[in-house]
Amino acid sequence: MVLKRGDNNELVKKVQAVLGVEQVGNFGPKTEEAVKAWQTKNGLTPDGVVGPATLAKMGIIVEAKAAPAAAKPAATKFSREQVETAVKTKGYKWFEGGDYTLNIVGVRNASTGQKVTNVFDDHITLSYTVGGEKKFHCWPATTDPGTKGVMQYGNKAGVARLVEGQYIDSHIMRLHAGKYEALGQNKPVKVFRDPNKDMIYDEKSIQEGVFGINIHKAGADSTYVENWSEGCQVFKRSADFEEFMAICRKAKAANGNKFSYTLIESSDIK
């Protein structure tokens, strides 16, 4: 901790109390001169700056602040059992059968309402069975368009936001934007359209069709959605997406090139 001219806080008041000057908390020119005089008197370099040596000599103890905790990867928020129960409670189909019969379920964060958050605060989950063993994954993602997606979208009807529901055989494995393998929309889905760009998703206008609502990745570990999504379901981390796609490739080999997608809200999970 170092105090110098221009600082204004409670610690300055403690220094001023030792100096015998008015305790206003503002480190002004008078306090600086008083510090220099005090430092000279106590055998310290009279620089007018209250550093560790001066604080120690004054008998002022400064508690060290704990270092900020290292950022942790997003934790798994939901269990397979929770997601399965929610899907069945909604009256949707839970796919069961042989190995790599996939249940791809997006979980939209309901706590943010209709606000454009521009962050990856949703999840994409994957449930399936291999050799009788149940498998489950839950990855951070977005099911909503980001800020740039909303503001810069060229369609006059406005950016698309997928309507919660179940879309049977809605996707196939193919190139996303001609660049890399992903799950591309192949059958109609329902979307809300938001034409007024007020940073609140509009849920009044619904269209149904094939709009390119793909399931793909953002960057290595993206912080903001921006235009990574203009309606697509997008993984926050590319490594998570690659893990997802490796499983999808096995599912394609076992069951054919068709994938269903179900979107629910976090409030559906009890």
| CA–CA distances in Å: residue 211 to residues 24, 169, 207 | 64, 15, 10
Do 193 and 131 fall into the same domain? yes
pTM assigned to the model: 0.72
Rounded CA-CA distance 118/223 in Å is 9
Residue 65 lies inside a defined structural domain of this protein: no
**pLDDT tens-digit map of 163-186:** 999 999 999 999 999 999 999 999
Q: How many domains does the chain have?
A: 2
- At 134, list the tokens: 């149940």
User: Residue 74 has what pLDDT?
Assistant: 44
Average per-residue pLDDT for the chain: 91
Among 71-80, 108-117, 213-222, the range scoring the smallest mean pLDDT is 71-80
pLDDT higher for 52 or 82? 82
User: Would you place residue 63 in the very low, low, confident or very high pLDDT band (cuts 50, 70, 90)?
Assistant: low
The mean pLDDT of 206-213, rounded to a whole number, is 95
Q: Is the backbone of residue 198 left (phi > 0), alpha (psi -120 to 50) or beta?
A: alpha
Do 236 and 135 fall into the same domain? yes
Residue 67 has pLDDT above 50, yes or no: no
Do 29 and 91 fall into the same domain? no
CATH of the domain at 52: 1.10.101.10
The mean pLDDT of 199-208, rounded to a whole number, is 88
Residue 63 lies inside a defined structural domain of this protein: no
Residue 66 has pLDDT above 50, yes or no: no
Do 20 and 91 fall into the same domain? no
User: Would you place residue 64 in the very low, low, confident or very high pLDDT band (cuts 50, 70, 90)?
Assistant: low
* Residue range(s) defining the domain that contains residue 21: 10-58
